[in-house]
Chain A
């Protein structure tokens, strides 16, 4: 982590990846940014640079952002080689300019991964995450079909652990930080959340198999246990959940191979 500076303003050079579209060639372009308040957030600095570019008649830098308080998971820059930049347990929108030195060259790139194709400049397409959830990241319960909430007691320790996993904001930093561009932490978080709860048991096996198979099919890499993912995670989701995912996947694979299936299964009633 870069030491925080005390001065009120700094000047930096922004070295940004510019690429007009997925098929266009991309390159780094330098933009000087002078007299920035250190209270400014990193994204506000990009706003200021963009206003300057707009007034000069140039196209501003496209970047993804929305809530700007670290919860929506939209922002997605790699800053100085680190997904979400300097800082621990925060997203890009929670980085402030006081984390940089006066005169520093700040290198900004999109999240890079085969499964996250580039859209423009710093914006990438993370819809692969949606497709993984659609494959099984849910509990099948029709609206109105739920029993009384307190009829399903959940031990507090399980509920707390499920909540740790559920904190995932779906930003993709885990993928961007991984040298294999693996989505294991993302998948592990959802599989663990639902697998820890009694409501998630009926679909536990089918869920983990479907989600992992979809993840593989979408071009995410394999996990080699380096844990860059949890280090980059803005919600500090633990890689312990990956071990849990591996156990669940193994058990489900064995069970699905030997489990007797009713001959009437799949028929409509």
Chain B
């Protein structure tokens, strides 16, 4: 059984991080260059960590599967980044940001971690501005802010609709500077396929060079994973096509615990699926719900009729009907589930029947088209580009989609997993967002972990490791791991079955979406736990991966990722089945209040479930880390 010591420092909440920083061990400057650190991933967390650790003098090797460290999916975040600067003088504070984030997470995150996140949020903005990130400004030259969900203050900094891109390019520029200075050795087109554990400590990785097919071994004194979330287990999501769980999953199979995999976030307003060929879902900003009205036809027979021909009396403005006080601005999870219910009843619109209308006709009548264009013009343009429909003339069709995962590898307060020497940052870890993440908090966490947490906490581990004591890549553990990966690669090529990898990914995604998506029940989860292993067996018997292992082979890359999604998908459903409560993004239909709100069970489930691999074919072990709230009272989330 894994030892889960959260290592939360003692003392008052607001002093914990400050005190911890003064008490943890340091590595002296002359010794830093004797330590090598592997960082996998170059999104916000990985790039910021790589740059900062190199600045401190550590020798860093950064690995990305992309062709450049500038491509990670952090780049697609639009809205903004939260920080408790209180530049608006509207009463914001570190404590308020802490509280909003904790409450937004439905009281399933760690108090101490969330407070630290709020504390360092202010440093992030300073750092990014100094790097030349072109944040939006007021006419006086000072930084502008906007409001976001789940907060009553204006604390979100933004760079048009491209905040993620600008923050990532800032971190990429810092990384580039350190590559040029020799502090970071950059490996592109390099996919991590295994973690190497020597004497119980993470000491290296096995990588496949995606261009040459070479299986390479790299040793280090510590390994950092910053490899993002696992939302593509659902196949269709707002994630990039390449986003995957492989690095995290292979670490799980080497002993790292996977925490709360069932905490997945589904965004209510995305452009719906149009056909079986679909590869990607695109987000339409939640802000549209300020002026748009959501509806579906009352009668199934009307679902394919032109919306304008459906009289008012035959339309069901279901959010306004079911949630009269919040109406179209009902919280994300409620709005998502309501749309699903309408479509399950056969009233969904569009060719696939998986869509509802978001209608601006009333807003255009009330405000005039120019005002609507000024507020939402860019979003209407994106919508037109994808659907060839004008939202000025007919309602948008929208449907919920997977877009973030709160679960991830378990880490302690130092961001170290239960495998010593293995650290996990950003969306890949589990610690800060509980069961639901607030808007504009993902960017904050990625950069907090990379710029301001890991540079301190990794020293505490390295100070206990003798400089220069890392193993050689010729150690038996490295050879065995590399051999394993080579064999797995060969196995894919030998199956020579009758279906493509994407065929199985689609079917797996469908099982998860239908049985473990927006609403989950005991029956649906038990069903999924039968369907997934059966489909996985079929995949391993009947998939076909063309080409060779000695060249760029995108089918082979995809096969490995989908194989891992099969295993993770099963764990996700098992976690959802075991957590007999509803909280945040995890909604079990059996556990809800009459108004459809999540019904938590703090007596039984105020804990982190950290799953531990027990070997192939054996059920994983469910470890528990209790969430002890010292300073905040767990209460029912209420935004009414």
Tally of contact residues, B, Cβ under 8 A = 80
Stretch in contact with the other chain, from A77-85, A155-163, A218-226, A240-248: A155-163
Q: B241 and A65: CB pair below 8 A? A: yes
Q: B373: CB under 8 A from chain A?
A: no
**Quick check: which of B275-283, B318-326, B328-336 contacts chain A, the rest being far away?**
B275-283
Contact between chains at A197 and B125 (CB < 8 Å): no
- Indicate if B203 sits at the interface (CB-CB under 8 A): no
The answer, among B66, B132, B180, for a CB contact under 8 Å with A193, is B132
Is there an interface contact between B277 and A47, defined as CB atoms closer than 8 Å? yes
A129 at the interface (CB under 8 A from B): yes
Instruction: Answer whether residue A267 sits at the interface, using C-beta atoms and an 8 A cutoff.
Output: no
Contact B140 A153 (CB under 8 A): yes
Stretch at the interface among B168-176, B215-223, B513-521, B526-534: B168-176
Q: Does B455 belong to the interface (CB within 8 Å)?
A: yes
Contact A159 to B134, CB < 8 A, known contacts A72-B75, A137-B173: yes
Return the chain A residue nearest B55 by Cβ: A142
Once bound together, how far apart are the Cα atoms of A160 and B139, in whole Å? 11
B277 touches A48 (CB 8 A): yes
Decide: B127 and A146 in contact? CB cutoff 8 A: yes
Bound: A172/B71 CA distance, A:
13
User: Is B141's CB under 8 angstroms from A60's CB?
Assistant: no
Provide the residues of chain B in CB contact with A47, threshold 8 Å.
Answer: 277, 279, 502
Which residues of chain B are within 8 angstroms of A62 by Cβ–Cβ distance? 552, 554
Q: What residues on B are CB-neighbors of A114 within 8 Å?
A: none
Q: Closest approach, in angstroms, between the C-beta of B565 and any C-beta of chain A?
A: 17
Could you say which of B132, B177, B500 contacts A194, with CB atoms under 8 Å apart?
A: B132
A187-240 contacts to B, CB under 8 A, are 193-194, 197, 199-200
User: Contact at A59–B280, with CB atoms within 8 Å?
Assistant: no
Choose the segment among A50-58, A101-109, A253-261 that binds chain B (4+ C-beta atoms closer than 8 Å).
Answer: A50-58
Instruction: Say if the beta carbon of B242 comes within 8 Å of chain A.
Output: yes
For residue A7, CB closer than 8 A to chain B, the reply is no
A263 in the interface (beta carbon within 8 A): no
Q: Pick from A20, A66, A98: contact of B66, CB below 8 A.
A: A66
With an 8 A cutoff between CB atoms, is A73 at the interface?
yes
Q: Is the CB of B130 within 8 A of A146?
A: yes
Kindly specify which of B158-166, B300-308, B480-488 makes contact with the partner chain: B158-166
B132–A197 touching, CB < 8 Å: yes
A55 to B134, CA, bound (A): 48
* Contact of A55 with B129 in the complex, beta carbons under 8 Å: no
Q: Does A166 contact B (CB under 8 A)?
A: yes
B283 to A, closest residue via Cβ: A69
Contacts of A64 in B (CB 8 A): 67
Binds B, one of A10-18, A35-43, A174-182: A35-43
Is B471 engaged at the interface, CB distance under 8 Å to the other chain?
no
In the assembled complex, B390 has its CB within 8 A of some CB on chain A: no
Q: Once bound together, how far apart are the Cα atoms of A148 and B242, in whole Å?
A: 37
Q: Which among A45, A143, A154 has the highest number of chain B CB atoms within 10 Å?
A: A143
- Chain B residue numbers with a CB within 8 Å of A127 are 67-68, 188
Confirm or deny: A30 has a beta carbon within 8 angstroms of a beta carbon on chain B: no
Interface residues of B in 175-225 (CB under 8 A from A): 176-177, 179-180, 186, 188, 211
Given A71-B165, A72-B73, A149-B85, CB of A40 within 8 Å of CB of B130:
no
Counting CB contacts under 8 A, is B109 at the interface?
no
Complex interface: chain A residues within 8 A of B242 (CB): 66
Are the CB atoms of A66 and B129 closer together than 8 Å?
no
**Is B241's CB under 8 angstroms from A68's CB?**
yes
Choice from B69, B162, B386, B554 contacting A60 with Cβ under 8 Å: B554
Which residues on the A side are within 8 Å of B451 (C-beta)?
143-144
- The answer to whether A143 and B455 touch across the interface, beta carbons within 8 angstroms, is yes
Complex Cα–Cα for A126 and B71 (A):
12
Q: Which of B129, B169, B386, B502 has a CB less than 8 Å from the CB of A96?
A: B386
Residues of A within 8 A of B338 (CB): none
Flag if B279 contacts A163 (CB, 8 Å): no
A252 at the interface (CB under 8 A from B): no
Residues of B within 8 A of A57 (CB): 544, 546
Closest to B159 in A: A163
* B31 contacts the other chain (CB 8 A): no
A26 within 8 A of B: no
Using Cβ atoms and an 8 Å threshold, which residues of chain A touch B131? 138-139, 141, 199
Contact residues in B for A152 (Cβ distance below 8 Å): 129-130
A7–B502 alpha-carbon span in the complex (Å) = 27
Assess the A40–B275 pair: CB atoms within 8 A. Answer: yes
Q: How far is the CA of A4 from the CA of B385 in the complex (A)?
A: 11
Contact B132 A139 (CB under 8 A): yes
Find the B residue at minimum CB distance from A194: B132
Given A71-B162, A137-B176, A143-B455, A130-B76 contact (CB < 8 Å): no
In the complex, the answer to whether A66 meets B73 with C-beta atoms within 8 Å is yes
Residues of A that sit less than 8 Å from B by CB: 4, 20-21, 37-41, 43-45, 47-48, 51, 53-55, 57-60, 62, 64-69, 71-74, 90, 94, 96, 98, 119-120, 123, 125-127, 129-130, 133-135, 137-150, 152-156, 159-160, 162-163, 166-167, 169-170, 193-194, 197, 199-200
23 example contacts (A-B, Cβ-Cβ < 8 A) are as follows: A39-B274, A39-B275, A39-B388, A47-B502, A59-B546, A62-B552, A64-B67, A71-B165, A72-B240, A96-B385, A96-B388, A119-B211, A130-B70, A139-B130, A143-B51, A143-B174, A146-B123, A146-B129, A147-B126, A150-B142, A154-B137, A163-B160, A194-B132
Residues of B within 8 A of A (CB): 48, 51-52, 55, 66-73, 75-76, 85, 87, 123, 125-132, 134-143, 159-160, 162, 165-166, 169, 172-174, 176-177, 179-180, 186, 188, 211, 240-242, 274-275, 277-280, 282, 385-388, 451-452, 455, 498-500, 502-503, 544, 546-547, 551-552, 554-555
Known contacts A119-B211, A145-B130, then 6 further A-B pairs from the complex at CB < 8 Å, ordered by chain A residue: A39-B274, A51-B503, A71-B75, A143-B127, A156-B141, A167-B162
